[in-house]
Amino acid sequence: MDCPVAPKIDFSGTTPYEDYVHASVLHSLQQQWSQDPREMSFLVITQVMELYFGLLCFEWRQAKRELRADDLPAAVRTLNRSELHMQALNAAWRPIARMTPGEFNSFRDALGEGSGFQSGRYREVEFLLGEKSRSMLVPHRAVPAQHDALEALLHEPSLYDDVLAALHRRGLPIPADVLDRDVSTPYEPNADVERAWVGVYRDGPRDLLDLGEALTDIAEEFARWRYDHLLATRRSMGAKVGTGGSAGVAWLEKRTQRSIFPELWTARSHV
């Protein structure tokens, strides 16, 4: 019987794991502003969310490249992978949502005017999903590199814009005014696009149906993200003004009413 080989435990410098993951750097980034131990949970979870925002942006940019290359199977695999990331991202709300108002208030003052509303990477998430708004650039004016990156993204086609362009190349009747629209503005539902998706869901090719379902999964998880954010805020702080000066719950309620990839939802009524 062969003896199992023991893992190598003696290294001349840092471990290969540390060199690859930079764990010591990650664990040095949690700096509490209060003495309340619950703040550490809030801080780590918020940082985990930021990492997932970055991962989603990476995946959706990859999917956009695959769509432009008309490699729909690869794009669907990438989108499906991103949907699993979104499930993990959404699960991060649970510990925050279980904080009582008193527990959250015990360190809330440490946030000052800080708010997730100011996250540049989350703004990238929204822009990539087609939730465009020039006013959302304002919080980032003092950080030129971030502002310029968001300004450029504002004028780039969203993930859904690239999807519709791919459908057009496959022969679906996507109207010219949709394909040539000002991509810096929020996407508005279009009846012709809805009819194109109806055709896909009735008897379209399997790869287009898979693409539609992958996008719908993402839209559902994004809606769940917004709703879970609303519930966590309502439960931990009620209807108070948000930490960044927003209307808090009222602002979040308004955001939950918007759907991304709208025709993928309305088309189902006609199949």
Q: Is residue 231 part of a domain?
A: yes
Predicted confidence at residue 156, as pLDDT, reads: 97
Domain that holds residue 66: 36-108+117-270
> How far is it, in rounded angstroms, from Cα 207 to Cα 235?
42
List binding-site positions. Answer: 108, 229, 243
User: Is it the case that residue 192 has pLDDT exceeding 80?
Assistant: yes
Q: Is residue 3 part of a domain?
A: no
Q: Is residue 12 part of a domain?
A: no
User: Is it the case that residue 148 has pLDDT exceeding 60?
Assistant: yes
Mean pLDDT for the stretch of residues 110-132: 86
Q: Is residue 8 part of a domain?
A: no
Question: Which pTM was predicted?
Answer: 0.90
Number of CB atoms found within 10 A of residue 101's CB:
13
Q: List, for residues 67-109, the tens digit of each pLDDT value.
A: 999 999 999 999 999 999 999 999 999 988 888 888 888 887 7
pLDDT cut 70: percent of the chain above it:
92
List binding-site positions for heme. Answer: 229
Structure tokens at 177: 């005014």
- How far, in whole angstroms, is CA 109 from its chain's centroid? 27
Q: Is residue 24 part of a domain?
A: no
In the block, tokens 């695959």 appear at: 66
Q: Is residue 232 part of a domain?
A: yes
Q: Is residue 233 part of a domain?
A: yes
List binding-site positions for substrate. Answer: 108, 243
Q: List, for residues 218-254, the tens digit of each pLDDT value.
A: 999 999 999 988 888 888 777 666 555 555 677 677 6
Number of compact structural domains in the chain: 1
- The CATH number of the domain holding residue 84 is 1.20.58.480
